Amino acid sequence: MSAIERCRVTGSTDLQPFLDLGDTPLADALVDPDNRPENEAHFPLELCFCPESKLVQITHDVDPEVMFVDNYLYFSSFSDQVAQHTRAHAEQLVESRGLGPDSLVVELASNDGYLLRHFVELGIPVLGIDPAPDQAAAAREKGVPTLEEFFGVELAERLVAEGKQADVIIANNVMAHIPDPNDFVGGMKTLLADDGVITVENPYVKTLIDHCEFDTIYHEHYFYWSCQSVDVLTRRNSLVLNDVQHFPELHGGTLRWWIGHHEDRSDAVLSYLADEKAAGLDTFEYYADFGRRVDGVRAELKRLLSELRAEGARIVGYGAAAKGATLLNATGIGTDLVEYVVDRNPHKQGLLMPGTRQPIKDPSFLVEDRPDYVLLLAWNFEKEILDQQSDYREQGGRFIRPVPWPEVVA
């Protein structure tokens, strides 16, 4: 672990800190029950803003190998919403780009093959790239050829030397996870065919700030992107941000950026850039009072849970999500307030939440155990989870949503 001195995009030393969440464990490093608490490593979790790149980033680096190879249990295929979203994206790309058996679609951070499998089903050649071993193995089982490596210029040059050029490069929920964005985007530039297209999805920093989604801050997320900061990064790497789409329901508010070698800018991109400028996303002032607002949410959540506990209610959590780990640790919610957490990913069940050490169980346990309240740690899947938990709700079970402001929602 090391503190950064320079912006990871521009190299500027003018880094302006605006939120300190204290020392927290790695959000996806779920703990074996035999591990003693004192063996769990904690790292500073702090955000800063760089006026030159207009990019929000964390101030301390943790080795990506530790996060994405040794401790990564996130499988993309556990949400029906994500499955529908990605199928629609694949179909749109096949149609709009006229993809066929001579095309190549490359996905960076292809996880368990949740997206590329749709192209495989249509006979379109694909290549997945992901350093996480279990996810890469799951992808190969779906028929998705996967290179178990980190992506950057060096790998892109190797692929080009093998005669590969991508007609489409997809990078979903990975632009936050790369310690060197110039190397990553430089690799995209190298691998992309002249008339090819890159699509990048990532949660939108404006939604994070406006909706106080502070729990989506963790060490895996080095960066919190806006259209302005993507514009700076792509220009520096001789690419052009040409279009943008908004998916307000996905991961708490996601943007999809369309990037290419040649300029062909949509009205949407121009209006996003203008709106961000008008809102001041390129100034420190926009971020300055975020820490105070986060303090308000943390205090209110603790107050609400403590009051319910004092009345004798039993509370558990839903979703052993990375954001759940930040929420519990940064708010100081131990097993005295939230007893255990349920999650339908079997790789997570049987382990403990990092730091706060709630045991992780199968969601079917809710109906059996009948706790009074469930804190929605994976609040981004509120609708999907509430629909799925109708039996528990019919028994009188209630759900609490922690952000943008803690409230009992059902």
Interface residues toward ligand JHZ, by CB under 6 A? 74, 78-79, 173, 176, 220, 251, 319-323, 343-345, 348, 363, 378, 380-381, 384-385, 388
* Token pair in block for residue 339: 């007893």
Name the minimum Å distance from CB 173 to ligand JHZ.
4
First CA to last CA distance, the chain? 41
**21 CB-side CA count, 13 A:** 34
* Nearest position to ligand JHZ, beta carbon: 321
Nearer to ligand JHZ, 265 or 344 (CB): 344
Nearer to ligand JHZ, 23 or 384 (CB): 384
Name the minimum Å distance from CB 206 to ligand JHZ.
16
CB contact set of 310 (below 8 Å; sequence gap of 6+): none
Residue 87 · residue 118 · CB < 8 Å: yes
Name the minimum Å distance from CB 295 to ligand JHZ.
21
Rounded distance, CA 236 to CA 188, Å?
Answer: 13
Strand order in the sheet with 223-224: 16-24, 43-50, 55-58, 223-224
Q: Tell me, what amino acid is at 83?
A: A
Name the minimum Å distance from CB 203 to ligand JHZ.
6
Tell me the DSSP string of 206-259.
Answer: HHHHHTT-GGG--TT--EE--HHHHHHHHHHTT-EEEEEEEETTGGGSEEEEEE
Nearer to ligand JHZ, 152 or 252 (CB): 252
Nearer to ligand JHZ, 169 or 171 (CB): 171
CB contact set of 376 (below 8 Å; sequence gap of 6+): 317, 318, 319, 382, 385, 399, 400, 401, 402, 409
Nearer to ligand JHZ, 191 or 217 (CB): 217
Name the minimum Å distance from CB 180 to ligand JHZ.
17
Residue 168 · residue 103 · CB < 8 Å: yes
Residue 378 · residue 326 · CB < 8 Å: no
Nearer to ligand JHZ, 273 or 403 (CB): 403
Would you call the peptide bond into 346 cis, given omega within 30 degrees of 0 as the criterion? no
Name the minimum Å distance from CB 4 to ligand JHZ.
20
Nearer to ligand JHZ, 125 or 252 (CB): 252
Residue 56 · residue 287 · CB < 8 Å: yes
Q: Tell me, what amino acid is at 340?
A: Y
Name the minimum Å distance from CB 11 to ligand JHZ.
25
Name the minimum Å distance from CB 145 to ligand JHZ.
21
Nearer to ligand JHZ, 252 or 406 (CB): 252
Name the minimum Å distance from CB 63 to ligand JHZ.
16
Nearer to ligand JHZ, 103 or 380 (CB): 380
Alpha helices in 262-313 (DSSP H): 267-279, 285-288, 290-310
Rounded distance, CA 257 to CA 112, Å?
Answer: 22
Would you call 409 helix, strand, or coil by DSSP? coil
* Token pair in block for residue 322: 């990375």
Nearer to ligand JHZ, 55 or 320 (CB): 320
Name the minimum Å distance from CB 320 to ligand JHZ.
5
